[in-house]
Amino acid sequence: MTIRRLLRLKSGREDIGFYQARVLLEDGLKMGWCLQVVSPADLDEFRRHLSTGSSMSLSMVTRDGDYLRGEAAVSGLSESVDAATTVTLAGMGPLHAT
């Protein structure tokens, strides 16, 4: 499993602000990936996708300067008063390097 930290995350054309975000890759850039976003600036979009079950079209820039894009579904949202909010997204298909 490879972990890649992110510098930038976009849903469509909108930037998603966050405290920390990382992509976990199981098999290189082929299949089996998930995304964890800690303390996103706006939870409303994630809540909407979680309640409707719709996927999000994401584009990412890693700290290494790689550009990645893929479709993901919100699989978990943990909100806490005493700890950071974490959103977990599961990749739906391959993660593409551009």
Domain boundaries, the chain: 2-97
Identity of the residue numbered 10: K
Mean of pLDDT values over 69-83: 89
Secondary structure element (H or E) that encloses residue 91, with its range: strand 86-91
CATH number 2.40.10 given to 2-97 = yes
Mean of pLDDT values over 24-41: 83
Average pLDDT over all residues of the chain? 90
Tell me, yes or no, if the pTM score tops 0.85: yes
Looking at residue 29, what is its pLDDT? 57
Q: Does the structure show a pLDDT above 90 at 43?
A: no
Question: Cα–Cα distance between 33 and 17 in angstroms, integer?
Answer: 21
